[in-house]
């Protein structure tokens, strides 16, 4: 799922003439994973497994400062997965397929992107 | 008896002075990104593909990091991954280090942008006032600046305009526009 997303982003960036596409595609995949984590959290709130998303501070400034730490950890973890060797393997694997960038695959990627946004937009994760 | 007494005042409540919220959520990552952009584009990029050799006839002078042949043409090789493009031949350790510094600097900017996007989304959905249009704008701007073709002109212009707008109105551009 994330390998395919990575490849689609990589190919898109390359088509747009981007430099350092593997690095940028990895970061974009990080954003996607971050959204999915928040989407899962939203489902947990909806199912009353958790009350609400934790907010570290009422002040947006401090809240965001705290949020930078887990975000940075997430970036690190994703980069540990998408190593240069693995990125190369993924790209080669999808390059060998005739229909890697097919309508269905792109649609799947867009759905992956849209679903967590939809969940976050419709579920009030601030609790009661 | 006291309950029947109505207290009225002709004085209108004092208007609160407008204060710029320099630490609003929408601007933290912008500050970091803008500082990074200023350093990279205005200071570092002046000599991005040049370095100062420590030895030899050009010691202490800015010279290109690319190795050149006898005709003065740049010698490069194609990396295995197409997006890496052409890499510099090892002219010297300093040249390679300078090239790597430039690449890492650009990458650091992208990482700042990425964590800014994630933090903006989280901050928006957990905000007491709920998700507002300026959160959307922050994310869109973050995505375009980090992943899109908008370069330093866009970043700097936005930063300057946002500073001025906050100084005057107390709200960021996106808050003024959308909320």
Asked if the structure places residue A57 within a domain, the reply is yes
- What is the predicted ipTM? 0.83
Q: Do residue B122 and residue A53 have CB atoms under 8 angstroms apart?
A: yes
Residues B45-58: tens digit of each pLDDT: 777 777 788 777 87
Q: Which positions in chain A touch B88 (Cβ < 8 Å)?
A: none
Residue B149 DSSP class: S
**Does the pTM exceed 0.90?**
no
Q: Judging by beta carbons within 10 Å of its beta carbon (0-12, 13-18, 19+), is residue A117 exposed, middle or buried?
A: middle
Which of B80 and A45 is assigned the larger pLDDT? A45
- The total number of structural domains that make up chain A: 1
Q: Quick one: pLDDT at residue A11?
A: 83
| Residue of A23, A28, A60 with shortest CB distance to B123 | A60
Confidence of residue B14 (pLDDT cuts 50, 70, 90): very low
Determine contact: B118 vs chain A, CB below 8 A. Answer: yes
Is the CB of A88 less than 8 angstroms away from the CB of B81? yes
- Per DSSP, the three-state class of B78 is strand
Number of domains in chain B: 1
Question: Does any domain span residue B18?
Answer: no
The answer to whether position A128 is within a domain reads no
Q: Where are the alpha helices (DSSP H) in chain B?
A: 25-37, 93-126, 133-147, 152-169, 173-178
CA dihedral sign, ordered B166, A117, B36, A62: positive
Who has greater pLDDT, A68 or B133?
Answer: A68
Domain that holds residue A107: 2-122
Closest CA to B83 of A21, A10, A83: A21
Q: What is the pLDDT of residue B152?
A: 45
Beta-carbon separation of A64 and B85 below 8 A: no
Q: Is A106 on the interface with B (CB under 8 A)?
A: no
Q: Which residues pair with B74 in a beta bridge?
A: B68
For β-strands B74-78 and B86-88, DSSP reports them as: antiparallel
| Per-residue pLDDT at B19 | 43
Q: Which of A16-20, A51-55, B106-110 has the lowest mean pLDDT?
A: A16-20
Chain B environment of A30 (Cβ under 8 Å):
114, 118
Determine the structural domain holding residue B109 and report its residue range. 34-173
Choose from A24-33, A44-53, A106-115 the range with maximum mean pLDDT.
A24-33
Query: What's the pLDDT at A40?
Result: 92
Among B24, B125, B143, the residue with its CB nearest the CB of A53 is B125
């Amino acid at each position: 799922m994330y390998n395919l997303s990575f490849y689609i982003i990589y190919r898109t960036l390359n088509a747009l003439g981007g430099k350092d596409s593997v690095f940028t595609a990895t970061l974009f995949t990080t954003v996607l994973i971050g959204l999915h984590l928040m989407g899962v959290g939203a489902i947990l709130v909806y199912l009353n497994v958790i009350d609400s998303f934790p907010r570290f501070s009422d002040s947006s400034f401090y809240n965001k400062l705290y949020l930078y730490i887990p975000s940075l950890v997430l970036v690190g973890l994703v980069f540990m997965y998408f190593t240069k060797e693995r990125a190369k393997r993924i790209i080669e694997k999808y390059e060998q397929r005739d229909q890697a960038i097919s309508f269905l695959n792109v649609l799947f990627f867009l759905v992956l992107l849209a679903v967590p946004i939809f969940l976050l937009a419709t579920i009030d994760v601030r609790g009661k | 008896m006291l309950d029947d007494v109505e207290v009225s005042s002709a004085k209108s409540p004092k208007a609160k002075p407008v204060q710029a919220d320099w630490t609003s959520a929408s601007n933290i990552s912008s500050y970091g990104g803008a500082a990074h952009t200023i350093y990279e584009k205005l200071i570092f990029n002046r000599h991005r593909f040049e370095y100062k050799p420590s030895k030899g006839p050009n010691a202490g002078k800015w010279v290109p990091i690319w190795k050149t042949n006898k005709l003065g043409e740049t010698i490069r090789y194609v990396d295995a991954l197409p997006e890496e493009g052409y890499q510099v031949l090892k002219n010297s350790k300093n040249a390679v280090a300078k090239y790597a510094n430039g690449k890492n600097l650009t990458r650091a900017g992208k990482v700042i942008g990425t964590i800014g996007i994630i933090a903006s989304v989280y901050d928006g959905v957990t905000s007491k006032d709920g998700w507002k249009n300026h959160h959307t704008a922050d994310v869109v701007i973050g995505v375009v600046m980090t992943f899109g073709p908008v370069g330093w002109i866009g970043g700097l212009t936005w930063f300057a305009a946002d500073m001025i707008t906050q100084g005057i109105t107390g709200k960021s551009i996106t808050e003024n526009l959308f909320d």
